[in-house]
Amino acid sequence: MKKISKNRFKIIGVFILFLLPLVSCDEEILDLNNPEQFTQATYFKTPEQIVQATNATYGSFFQFWIGSYQWPEIWDVLANETEATAGALGSYHEVSIIQMMGYQHNETNRTVENLWRMWYVMISRANLTIDTADAYLAENPSNDLVIRSRGEAYFLRGWAYFNLANYWGKVPIRLSFDQSENIDAPLANSVDEVWAVAENDLKEAQSVLKEVEDYGDTDLGRATKGSATGFLGKLYLTTGRYPEAEIELAKLEGHYDLLPAEGYLWNFGETNENNIESVFEFQSAYQEGDATTAMFTNVEGGPTPAMNNMQPQLHSWNGWPNWKFSPTREQAFLYQDESGTDFIDPRGAETFYGGVAGDDTWCDMCAENPNRPYDFAALGYYYKKKGNKEVKPSESGASAGAAVSGNNIRQMRYADVLLMRAECALMQGDPSGCIDFINIVRRRFGIFEYTPSNYSEAQAFELLKREREVEFMGEGSRFNDLKRWGILEETLNPEFQVIYGTQPVAPSHYFFEIPQNELDTNFGL
């Protein structure tokens, strides 16, 4: 497996507008066409233009505040992996996230609505790409750019329907760009129908896309055969099809690997993105100017279109300190080894600053003034994963430290693949096999390994739960794990009781409510 270059492909989304049909009129003179207006009839006719349609589909992730602003916050608050500061509690922009933190979200919650809209924008753009690519290939010899773009669109549409099925269940299905006969799309007959769309799309992407090692440096970051395979395996895991999940996830061996311990932070910052551990990540691109606050609009429609990531700003003690590492989560890194001796997991020092398990210095890898003492007494806990402070201290410029960033947003890395395979083994009655995969992940940091024969299925499940929590703390995994295992209420309610004196999580919270705006405009619902 060749080493992947740190140079990455930066996907620039294009804002697509289509001319609405003119109201019919007897006066032919009123049926005017603007020769400079892009329409489906006049554009997306060449391979390069079809690539632009695909690039815009990737850009959907940065619509409606999601990719540039609220993506990590959503899953952090739902999993009790973050703590709101006074800045977050007093911010108009965080109201919907604070509601989600208390499990008080409903059909009018703005963030839930924005997630819904973002995925359907992605579906619409993917449909445009697929339709135009199919039309091109029907009339032209095989073209690698068009085939790749079509495969990427299938991957992104499959990813969107995967999430819609996972978070809403039955949703409207739209499989072509022309929706004139399906404006009022009803709900699917069952959630299985939505999962089937996602499965078929991911299979189609898998069949035409190339392996990651076949991509040049300028195309790193695009969806690959491995991206489609990884999410197809995750789909099977999520829907309880464990043998099929293991078959797919095993295909990633030899194409991906774990980074060394000294490069662990490359999974989260701007250094060495799209590396050998990355199965798929959304590409962010830092840009100064008005784009700094474009997260409060739709970035493609702003004066400075960009795909900045505000995560370091929102989680920095000298930025907008809206969110901190939750002190209650430190306990996951403090446990005993097999001999009963107290142990501090070294991943704590790579995840957060402060406390017993966290890092007590910062900027360790900075060229100037490295290993600066972290003032825990004054600051408390802060996330380390979510910032650039190790290699880009805030003093070095607007794009570093506490400010906006070009940090890519990771969706799957190889450590997740290994632990999903651990889960597949456990769910098929093989606790020893589960422990074997857990030990591979722990081996990266030289952490003591578990003896497979010592653990029953129930005990192996407890180890798996802790391993996933520790490895993916703050990466949006825990809520989905607890939801998949059916233990959302029994796990989170006792935690919320200790912190807030409430037990807000109910069975209804396994799914989001369809946004009121969709109910008001889609009469098929």
Q: Is residue 498 part of a domain?
A: no
Rounded to 5°, the CA angle 397-400-402 comes to 105
Domain range holding 282?
Answer: 35-300
Q: Which two tokens stand for residue 327?
A: 């002190």
Amino acid occupying residue 288 = E
Q: Is residue 296 part of a domain?
A: yes
**What distances in angstroms separate CA 327 from CA 83, 208, 214, 332, 434, one per listed residue?**
8, 46, 43, 10, 29
Q: HEC states along 304-349? A: CCCECECHHHHCCCCCCCCEEECHHHHHHHEEECCCCCEEECCCHH
511-520 pLDDT, tens digit each: 999 999 999 9
Q: Is residue 268 part of a domain?
A: yes
357-392 pLDDT, tens digit each: 999 999 998 888 899 999 999 999 999 999 888 876
pLDDT at 320: 84
Residue 457, C-beta contacts closer than 8 angstroms, at least 6 positions apart = 426, 429, 431
pTM of the complete model: 0.91
223-242 pLDDT, tens digit each: 999 999 999 999 999 999 99
Q: Is residue 20 part of a domain?
A: no
Nearest-angstrom CA–CA distance, 31 and 442 = 67
Q: Is residue 218 part of a domain?
A: yes
Q: Is residue 196 part of a domain?
A: yes
CATH code for position 248? 1.25.40.390
Decide: 507 and 489 in contact? Cβ < 8 Å: yes
pLDDT at 2 over 90: no
pLDDT at 41: 73
Q: Is residue 216 part of a domain?
A: yes
Nearest-angstrom CA–CA distance, 440 and 460 = 15
Number of separate domains in the chain: 1
456-478 pLDDT, tens digit each: 999 999 999 999 999 999 999 99
Q: Is residue 525 part of a domain?
A: no
Rounded to 5°, the CA angle 27-30-33 comes to 140
